[in-house]
Structures are given as C-alpha cells and as structure tokens.
Amino acid sequence: MTAPTSPTAPIDPTTTDAWAELEAHHLELDGSLREWFAADPQRAERFTHDAADLHVDLSKNLVAPRTVELLLQLAREVGVQERRDEMFAGAHINTTEDRAVLHTALRRPAGSSPALVVDGQNIDEDVHKTLHRVFDFADQVRSGAWTGMTGKRIETVVNIGIGGSDLGPVMVYEALKPLAQDGLEARFISNIDPTDAFATTQDLDPETTLVIVASKTFTTLETLTNARLVRQWLLTGLRENAALTAEQEQEAIAQHFVAVSTALDKVADFGIDPKNAFGFWDWVGGRYSVDSAIGTVLATVLGPDTFEELLAGFHAMDEHFATAPAEQNVPLLMGLLNVWNVNFLDAETHAVLPYSQYLHCFPAYLQQLTMESNGKAVRWDGSLATTETGEVFWGEPGTNGQHAFYQLIHQGTRVIPADFIAFATPNHPLKDGDQDVHELFLANFFAQTKALAFGKTAEEVRAEGTEGSLVAAREFSGDRPTTSIMAPQLTPSVLGQLIALYEHITFVQGVVWGINSFDQWGVELGKQLAKDLGEAVAGDETAIADEDASTAGLIRYYLEHRAQ
C-alpha cells in the first residue's frame, strides 16, 4: 500500500462557508441551557454518544443542534476526514520533519490484514516483533528469571525519561497501580534537578533495582544526566554491598540497565548492551509513545496482559475515530466543540477533571499531549495561523479541585469548558459503615456539571431567604459548558480508550487550525540557551558580561548565594 501524500497548504478555516455561518449563528444563538433543555426533551439523548466503552454526554455544552451541523460542515470543508485517513495510512503529515505519524499502528492487532507497509517498512511486523521482545523481557523480570548482578530478584523498576518518555508511563502506572505484581514497583525520575534522582533512589537497594533509560532521541540532557547519576549510585552501592570489582562493572550495567530508544547506536555509546535495548521509530511522537516500547516499565510491573488490554483499548477508539459516522464520532465532535469554545466563545483554557484519584496524573499527561501538539502560531505550510489556536489544558482530580479552583469555573468572568470523567464501579472495596462512599463521590460528579449548566437564579436565591447584596454573590449564572465522560470501570482498556480519545481530539483541532500537531520546535530555543549559558553559570565573568542585564543579574545572584 502506498501512503497518500498530504496537501501542501492547509485550508484556512476562516475562508470556509461554515466559518462565516458559524459567526452569524454565534451572534443569533440565544437562550440558555435551562431553556434549551426545557424546549427539547431529546437534547440529552441527541448529544450523547457511545465510543467503545465510553459514554459521552455533550449536551451541557453551549451548542444548538445547528451549531454541531455547522461544525461538522467545517470539518468537511477543511478536510478532517481526508487528513485522518492520511494519518492512519502513513502519509508524511508531520511536514516539518517529513515523517509519517503512525502511533495508531502501535496498537493494531497482530495479523491485521492487509498489513500496513509504509515507506518500505512492514510496520505491523516490526511493531509486534518489538512487543514480543518487550513482553519476553517483562516476563523474565516478573518470574525472577532476570535477576540483579548478585542474583537477587528485581523489586523496583526505575524509569528515567522526561516528557513523553515519562508522563505517559507515570500516568498509566498511577492509574493502574492496583494491577502491579506483588513485590514489584515502578518509580520515575524525570527532572534534571538532582533532588529527583536522589529522592527516588535513596531508599532503594541497588541489588534489586532495574533501570530503564527511556529516550526517543537518547540525546535529552535531563535523561542522560539522570542516567549517569543513577549509574553512579548503582555502581557505588554494588561496590559497597556486594564487593563489586572494577571488572564486574560492565556486567552490572548489563544486568541492571536497559534502554528504550529510536537511536540504538547512542544507547550502545552510553554503555548499555544493545541486546538490552528496545527500539521504536521516528514516526512515533514522544507524546504519543506510551503505547510503544516506552511502555516497557508498564509491561514489566503491570504485566504484558495488562499492556495488551491497554493497547486493545487504544485500538477500539482508533476504530471508532476511523469508522464512526461524523454525527456520532466522539473525538471528532469533541475536537470541534473545542474549536467552537476557543474560536467563537473565546475560551482560553480547558479543564479536565477526573473523578478518580487513580487518574491524578491524567491532566499533566494531557498538558503535553495537547499543548506541545497545538501550541503553535504557524501552520503546516509555514504560514501564520489565521485564528487563535491551542488552549491551555489543566486540571486536578475531583473532588479536590472543588475546594480549590471550582469557584472560578462557577462564578468567574471567563468561559472555562471542562471535561468531567467518572467510572460507575470503583477499583477499591472501601465503605464507610453502610455508606457507599463511591456513591457520595459520584453525587459530586453529577452535581457539579448540573450546577455549572443550570446555575441558580436570583429568584431561587431569594426563595431560600437570602436578601440584599448577598443575592448577587450567591447567584450562579449557569451556561458554563461541560462534557461528561463515563465508563463502567477504569480498566486498562478503558484507559487506552481515554488516551486515544484525547489524541484524536487534539488531531481534529490541529487539522481545523492547519497546524502540524506532531512537531515541537518551540522547546528548542530554551534547550539551546541552557547549553550556551554553561560558562556563565559556572562563573565565567566574560560570559556573564555578554548576557542581557536581567539574565546576568540573576546569574550573579545565584553565584553569590549558592552554598560553597
């Protein structure tokens, strides 16, 4: 199969008929969610769709049926479906890096027919070959066949990575922690602040610790620095605990260090045996890589079966996105609603509020996925974006956020669209006497979107006995847009579905705005400057004098105040 080529210029959304109609429609749209629900008993049903195991209620968004029709027309006019098909087929839609974008291929089931062959590579074969190697390694660690240098069983797997080589693995591990094998835990080091490596390793036994160095490029300063720090910690510990000799050091590295990367030559340069390295490919973006070998820590601690279920969940959502009719296509609809919120309702941020403590890292994960993807002012042909683009994603698990920032969502002056996520059955057996605490928890989930949508009028406030200036303070305007996402339970498959849902939402927004959602040039300047500042930070006066006055002043402050 030959991948189709991508159009060189994006279609400017503001030049489409749909955009003009949306602008007019926005001005004409009146009423409120209260009125719309009262007038249309079918509204909830009309705007609720199932995608794999996810049940998604879009009815509390500030849209009329006509809004959705026009947004779908916009998607047709800018060619979302064509670009989606190009992505799945392996076209080089990552134009600035001239690469295919094939994270969806990482979760195609073995033996899919016809096989996906792109740029001469049999993608399915390579993906499953690597998966087998990862699973084989994971099984060895889990069974105790793979031990540390001194023959002790591995008890802790430390993943060293940053960005996509960290956020996805941490988030999934935290979400599915109850499935970790007894006696095996994962830990994560990402920050170049050495506190991270120190705090993570200080209570570990080097004899029972296995380190995974995860880096797509194997050039990332943070990861390589941390890998060296931990290598030193490990060798020092083994020398002390197990009288390791200098000759045995290489053997110790081989037993305690594995790597995941697309740059296997660099892995070897670092001293890790290439047979202990798992590869992936340049067509997997870092923030889209948790389902590649970057998930080795997950396959090891949570198990290959769990990882397979996770992949199956991703694939179920891919299938939905690729085949569901536009009117019921949840990632398409949610992506378009985000465009509506950003470009027509002037939303600048978007909250993601999981009512599951296990998903406490999900908002942070989504920040990289969404903001590194769509935080751009330039389109894929190099021209300037013609609209506002990527919104700020943020969030915390409910109910914690309710006691922190929900005040602003309920009564602030800004539009803050929010996604609420909850599960019918919890992953714990706890009860408070006869009280089902999960019920109490979910009552909060239901109550919040209800309050945000329908608010409380001044009359209702007065009817409760409040008078005078307090009435305004206790009034809730309502009409604050939310989406509710529910699933039966937080299983590995459901988690895979959720991640893929947001990947595709991000993609849809990117296509409408004409953005290449798969590069990240915006992180380069800071990296370059950090390297260039090395001499100044080390105290070289000439180098400091070459800096701008503010930077020079801050460096001097550091040099004067650091402990000697």
Concatenate the DSSP letters of all residues of 514-531 into one string: T--TT--GGGHHHHHHHH
Question: x/- string (CB under 6 A) for ligand F6P, residues 385-424?
Answer: ----------------------------------------
Residue 195: cis peptide before it, omega within 30 degrees of 0: no
Query: Which of 28, 247, 403, 459 is flagged as catalytic?
Result: 403
Of the pair 340, 393, the CB lying nearest ligand F6P is at 393
Among 73, 217, 241, 349, binds ligand F6P (CB under 6 A): 217
Tell me the window of 156-164, 169-177, 237-245, 478-486 that interacts with ligand F6P (CB under 6 A). Answer: 156-164
- Write down the least CB distance from residue 464 to ligand F6P, Å: 51
Binding to ligand F6P, residues 327-386 (CB under 6 A): 372
Of the pair 130, 520, the CB lying nearest ligand F6P is at 520
- Write down the least CB distance from residue 165 to ligand F6P, Å: 4
372 a catalytic residue: yes
Of the pair 358, 380, the CB lying nearest ligand F6P is at 380
- Would you give the end-to-end CA distance of the chain in angstroms? 63
| DSSP class of 97 | G
- Write down the least CB distance from residue 215 to ligand F6P, Å: 3
Q: How many CB atoms lie within 10 A of CB 221?
A: 12
Pure H helices in 144-263: 167-176, 194-201, 221-242, 249-256
177 a catalytic residue: no
**Residue 187 lies near ligand F6P (rule: CB under 6 A):** no
Residue 563: exposure state from Cβ atoms within 10 A (0-12, 13-18, ≥19): exposed
Among 59, 104, 130, 220, binds ligand F6P (CB under 6 A): 220
**Residue 427 lies near ligand F6P (rule: CB under 6 A):** no
Q: Which residues contact 197 (CB under 8 A, 6 or more apart)?
A: 189, 226, 229, 230, 233
Q: Where are the beta strands (DSSP E) in 356-478?
A: 392-394, 418-425
How far apart CA 373 and CA 378 sit, in angstroms, is 12
**Residue 57 — φ and ψ, nearest 5°?**
-105, 110
Residue 325: cis peptide before it, omega within 30 degrees of 0: no
Of the pair 61, 292, the CB lying nearest ligand F6P is at 292
**Residue 216 lies near ligand F6P (rule: CB under 6 A):** yes
28 a catalytic residue: no
Is 306 within 8 Å of 298 (Cβ atoms)? Answer: yes
Of the pair 164, 478, the CB lying nearest ligand F6P is at 164
Among 104, 215, 399, 497, binds ligand F6P (CB under 6 A): 215
Phi and psi based region of residue 391 (left: phi greater than 0; alpha: psi -120 to 50; beta: remaining): beta
How far apart CA 480 and CA 33 sit, in angstroms, is 9
Which residue type, as a one-letter code, is found at position 459? E
- Write down the least CB distance from residue 298 to ligand F6P, Å: 16
Query: Which of 207, 222, 372, 503 is flagged as catalytic?
Result: 372
Tell me the window of 112-120, 214-222, 268-276, 438-446 that interacts with ligand F6P (CB under 6 A). Answer: 214-222
- CA-closest candidate to residue 134, choices 188, 216, 207, 212: 212
Question: x/- string (CB under 6 A) for ligand F6P, residues 493-532?
Answer: ---------------------------x--x---------
- Write down the least CB distance from residue 201 to ligand F6P, Å: 20
How far apart CA 217 and CA 227 sit, in angstroms, is 14
Question: x/- string (CB under 6 A) for ligand F6P, residues 240-279?
Answer: ----------------------------------------
Tell me the window of 88-96, 104-112, 151-159, 162-170 that interacts with ligand F6P (CB under 6 A). Answer: 162-170
Concatenate the DSSP letters of all residues of 305-358 into one string: HHHHHHHHHHHHHHHHHHHS-GGG-HHHHHHHHHHHHHHTS---EEEEEEE-GG
Among 10, 13, 90, 164, binds ligand F6P (CB under 6 A): 164
Distance of CA 11 to the CA centre of its chain: 27
Number of residues in contact with ligand F6P under rule CB under 6 A? 14
The first and second tokens of residue 98, run together, are 């001239």
Among 286, 304, 331, 510, binds ligand F6P (CB under 6 A): 286
Residues with active-site annotation = 372, 403, 527
- Footprint of ligand F6P on this chain (CB under 6 A)? 162-165, 215-217, 220, 223, 286-287, 372, 520, 523
